[in-house]
């Protein structure tokens, strides 16, 4: 299914990490309350790490469904998993009421002998999701799950080239992906280049820029080691030499606003904010972007109709 976002209001979404202790849980619940007031189309929940962290993802999704009016986008990774365990998870998501999944491979085990699972690439997970959902057509009211995937403005660390990444994105669309969210990037032209290259290669799905307001050098460096994306030296220098938390906050928000504005100018169908479970920067970004957020507009956005 190809979705044409033109003329629809831009989508707005946030990414949350599952909390692993009581303090973190309180922090995430506060963020959820604050973010809910902006009527996002969906809130995505990351999935990775230890068994406890993965269980925390499922609990956070359950919390969003049962106690809020936010719609969750469940991240799901296939690395190190068996077909059976993935089928069970997809069925579990459907029974919880999840209608949107971000299908990912996940990061490879650092141990070279570590089991990589039965699905080496995300596209096989997408195919599995499409297989499992057909068994549940009654529960899904004849509809389908919205399936999102990752896209890379900067060459994926394991990829031989940027062009290869674009081919992989096309393969993921052909396997059944409805839209893509980008990895972080720091220069506006990196998003535009990706969209141009993807369209030339025949990719038709919406590609949503993933943007992060960073308020510390420590976070910037942590992000770089998590994603393999080199920290931007200008942003790094500005964060390092800023004299107060307020100045660092402003620098991070400003950088994120610049990226999102340029992406919108170049036709982006929405924006996805990586929150690091700190809602303040994200709220300032969307206020500065003057994103119109009324319930009516949310229910009309392409994401509300198709992504979750």
Tell the smallest beta-carbon distance from residue 3 to ligand FAD (Å).
17
User: Which C-beta is closer to ligand FAD: that of 105 or that of 249?
Assistant: 105
User: Which C-beta is closer to ligand FAD: that of 48 or that of 193?
Assistant: 48
Tell the smallest beta-carbon distance from residue 228 to ligand FAD (Å).
8
Tell the smallest beta-carbon distance from residue 236 to ligand FAD (Å).
21
Sites of contact with ligand FAD (CB under 6 A)? 46-48, 75, 77, 102, 104-107, 121-122, 150, 156, 158-159, 164-165, 168, 181, 183, 210
User: Which C-beta is closer to ligand FAD: that of 12 or that of 102?
Assistant: 102
In the chain, which residue ranges form alpha helices assigned H by DSSP?
A: 22-36, 51-67, 83-96, 122-135, 162-174, 188-201, 217-227, 233-241, 245-265, 279-289, 295-300, 302-306
User: Which C-beta is closer to ligand FAD: that of 198 or that of 238?
Assistant: 198
User: Which C-beta is closer to ligand FAD: that of 102 or that of 205?
Assistant: 102
Q: CA 52, CA 117: separation in Å to the nearest integer?
A: 19
User: Which C-beta is closer to ligand FAD: that of 56 or that of 251?
Assistant: 56
Q: CA 16, CA 273: separation in Å to the nearest integer?
A: 9
User: Which C-beta is closer to ligand FAD: that of 143 or that of 157?
Assistant: 157
Cβ atoms of 284 and 253 within 8 Å: the answer is yes
Give the contacts of 212 (CB within 8 A, at least 6 positions apart).
184, 223, 252, 256, 273, 274, 276
**Dmax (CA) of the chain:** 58
Tell the smallest beta-carbon distance from residue 171 to ligand FAD (Å).
6
Task: Tell me the three state secondary structure of residue 177.
Answer: coil
> What does the angle CA 231 – CA 183 – CA 19 come to, to the nearest 5 degrees?
90
Tell the smallest beta-carbon distance from residue 101 to ligand FAD (Å).
11
Q: CA 144, CA 190: separation in Å to the nearest integer?
A: 32
Tell the smallest beta-carbon distance from residue 250 to ligand FAD (Å).
26
Q: DSSP characters for 5-39?
A: -TTSPPEEEEEEPPP-SHHHHHHHHHHHHHHHTT-
Tell the smallest beta-carbon distance from residue 120 to ligand FAD (Å).
7
């Amino acid at each position: 299914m190809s979705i044409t976002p033109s003329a629809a209001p831009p989508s707005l979404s946030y990414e949350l990490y599952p909390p692993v202790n009581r303090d973190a849980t309180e922090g995430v619940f506060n963020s959820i309350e604050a973010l809910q007031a902006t009527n996002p189309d969906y809130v995505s929940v990351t999935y990775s790490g230890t068994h406890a962290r993965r269980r925390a993802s499922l609990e956070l999704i359950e919390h969003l469904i049962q106690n809020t009016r936010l719609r969750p986008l469940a991240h799901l990774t296939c690395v190190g998993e068996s077909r059976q365990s993935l089928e069970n998870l997809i069925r579990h998501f459907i029974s919880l009421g999840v209608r949107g999944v971000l299908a990912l491979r996940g990061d490879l085990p650092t141990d070279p002998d570590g089991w990589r699972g039965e699905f080496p690439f995300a596209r096989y997970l997408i195919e599995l999701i499409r297989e499992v959902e057909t068994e549940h057509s009654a529960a899904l009211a004849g509809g389908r799950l919205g399936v999102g995937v990752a896209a890379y403005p900067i060459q994926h660390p394991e990829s031989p080239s940027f062009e290869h990444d674009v081919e992989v994105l096309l393969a993921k669309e052909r396997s059944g992906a409805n839209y893509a969210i980008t990895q972080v990037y720091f220069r506006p032209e990196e998003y535009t280049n990706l969209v141009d290259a993807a369209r030339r290669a025949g990719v038709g799905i919406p590609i949503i820029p993933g943007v992060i307001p960073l308020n510390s050098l420590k976070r910037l460096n942590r992000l770089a080691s998590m994603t393999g994306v080199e920290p931007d030296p200008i942003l790094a220098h500005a964060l390092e030499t800023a004299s107060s938390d307020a100045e660092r906050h402003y620098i991070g928000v400003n950088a994120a606003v610049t990226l999102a504005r340029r992406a919108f100018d170049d036709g982006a169908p929405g924006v996805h904010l990586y929150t690091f479970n700190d809602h303040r920067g994200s709220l300032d970004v969307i206020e500065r972007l003057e994103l119109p957020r009324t319930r009516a507009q949310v229910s009309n956005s392409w994401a509300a109709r198709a992504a979750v």
